[in-house]
Amino acid sequence: MFGKRLLLVTTLCVGYAAVLASGQSVTPAPPCTDQIRDDNCTLPACRCSGNDIPGNLAVTTIPQLVFLTFDDAVAIQNIDFYRQVLYNRNNPNGHSITATFFVTHEYTNYTLLHELYRLGHDIALHSMSHNPLTSYWARLNQTMWRAEVVDQRQQLSQFARIPAAEIKGFRAPFLQIGGDDMYTVLKQANFQWECSRPTLNFRKPGLWPYTNDYISSQDCQIAPCPVGEYKGFWTVPMIDMLGDNNEGCAMVDTCTPVPETADQTYNLLLKNFNDHYTSNKAPFGIYTHAAWLNGTDDEYIQERRAGYVRFLNFLGTKNDVYIVGISRAIEWVKTPTPLAQLATFTHFQNPARPNNCPYVYNCRYAPEQTPFPTERYMSICSPCPPVYPWLGNPYGRP
């Protein structure tokens, strides 16, 4: 869920977000000089922002990484779409492809989330409340960031039986990041990365993921952007696509004009893919919501879905394209590995995980057991908590 605000002109954020919600000021990260880039900030721990290929590998020797991501609730309404489109599709190493899910608490069916986790998909966070006000996210204090994100990780761990250490990433609702307060909380809580910051200035050649040990050169499309130092914490830039009107779109479902046929959808994806593939092979992300391909938004859904599937089929014919979850891609950036050695690169392997969610607990909550005027329901892998879990009470304790 997002609006036209993604098309806002670039604003420089240096100085903008140097104050926390608490009023304390932030010490800016040091600049990344050429010497630091060579001597001090080296992989796997550190990477300055830039479009240089990790490990200085030659572009012809590296894989093109592709991210398929889906935001918001995973539910019975969209799981069959994921099963049909994502399952039974392999990377060139013979292991199945993996996508990234940015999940919210409400309406998420945690037993289905366990299925996605078990099949090796990257389960990342998108906040507990998905509060509809962007001003809420822009000004959130650290206590509330913890309630929205760190507590949500505990929730997923409890209700979907996903080990907390396997939940590594975050995307801000509406891509409205919260500057240094958000980055401080994510780093302190040992998250590894976030993927919410669009870039138009670094499209082609594209900006690779980078750590925040030094000040970033990325454009700040949606302020407040962080200015502090977050050692070893990764930003995965959202490289804008260009719609057929030539305007940037971070999420493909905001590209305009909205594609209405399978051909238009396929061509939009192919054109933007080639901007990466024929340049520095920075990861190519198709960032969307299931609703763009499997919803009731408009009458062109089936056409778009056909174009998307045709594009995935096309990627499947290329022996240098790997469709992987973002956490796996970061492991590649940390230890850049040429195509010729990828057969033994463990992070792109996807061994079966056991089903740790054998029973489905279907829970219903009357309005008086929730903070809302209407009832809520939840399907989870553990016994139903007495009240509806929410901000400040992530496990639903009485």
Strands 210-212, 230-235: pairing is antiparallel
| Binding-site partner at residue 184 among ligand NAG, Zn ion, none, CB < 5 to 8 Å by type | none
**Looking at beta carbons only, is 40 or 188 nearer to ligand NAG?**
40
Closest CB 247 distance from ligand NAG, rounded Å: 27
**Looking at beta carbons only, is 7 or 391 nearer to ligand NAG?**
391
| Binding-site partner at residue 301 among Zn ion, ligand NAG, none, CB < 5 to 8 Å by type | ligand NAG
Q: Which residues of 148-165 are buried (b: 16+ CB within 10 A; e: fewer)?
A: bbbbbbebbbbbbbbeee
**Looking at beta carbons only, is 169 or 173 nearer to Zn ion?**
173
**Under a CB-based contact definition with an 8 Å cutoff, are residues 207 and 253 in contact?**
no
What string of DSSP letters covers 267-282? HHHHHHHHHHHTTT-P
Q: Which residues contact 294 (CB under 8 A, 6 or more apart)?
A: 78, 81, 301, 305
Closest CB 151 distance from ligand NAG, rounded Å: 14
The DSSP secondary-structure symbol of 6 reads G
| Binding-site partner at residue 144 among ligand NAG, Zn ion, none, CB < 5 to 8 Å by type | ligand NAG
Closest to 209 measured CA to CA, from 64, 46, 49, 328: 49
- CA 305 to CA 336: how far, in whole Å? 33
Binding site for ligand NAG (CB under 6 A): 22, 36, 39-40, 76, 80-81, 84, 109, 111-112, 141, 143-144, 294-296, 301, 360, 362, 377, 379
- CA 170 to CA 230: how far, in whole Å? 15
**Looking at beta carbons only, is 71 or 275 nearer to Zn ion?**
71
| Binding-site partner at residue 72 among ligand NAG, Zn ion, none, CB < 5 to 8 Å by type | Zn ion
Closest CB 100 distance from Zn ion, rounded Å: 13
| Binding-site partner at residue 377 among Zn ion, ligand NAG, none, CB < 5 to 8 Å by type | ligand NAG
**Looking at beta carbons only, is 72 or 275 nearer to Zn ion?**
72
**Under a CB-based contact definition with an 8 Å cutoff, are residues 153 and 124 in contact?**
no
Residue 25, classed as helix, strand or coil, is strand
| Binding-site partner at residue 1 among Zn ion, ligand NAG, none, CB < 5 to 8 Å by type | Zn ion
- Beta partners for 198? 238
**Looking at beta carbons only, is 78 or 91 nearer to Zn ion?**
78
**Looking at beta carbons only, is 106 or 166 nearer to Zn ion?**
106
Closest CB 384 distance from ligand NAG, rounded Å: 12
**Under a CB-based contact definition with an 8 Å cutoff, are residues 215 and 235 in contact?**
no
| Binding-site partner at residue 100 among Zn ion, ligand NAG, none, CB < 5 to 8 Å by type | none
Binding site for Zn ion (CB under 5 A): 1, 71-72, 173
**Looking at beta carbons only, is 202 or 388 nearer to ligand NAG?**
388
Q: 370 is written with which tokens?
A: 């929730």
| Binding-site partner at residue 313 among Zn ion, ligand NAG, none, CB < 5 to 8 Å by type | none
Closest CB 335 distance from ligand NAG, rounded Å: 21
**Looking at beta carbons only, is 112 or 149 nearer to ligand NAG?**
112
Closest CB 104 distance from Zn ion, rounded Å: 7
What dihedral do alpha carbons 259, 260, 262, 265 form, nearest 10°? 0
Closest CB 294 distance from ligand NAG, rounded Å: 4
CA atoms within 13 Å, Cβ hemisphere of 103: 31
The DSSP secondary-structure symbol of 381 reads S
Residue 122, classed as helix, strand or coil, is strand
| Binding-site partner at residue 264 among ligand NAG, Zn ion, none, CB < 5 to 8 Å by type | none
**Under a CB-based contact definition with an 8 Å cutoff, are residues 262 and 302 in contact?**
no
Strands 284-289, 64-71: pairing is parallel
Q: 346 is written with which tokens?
A: 């463990």
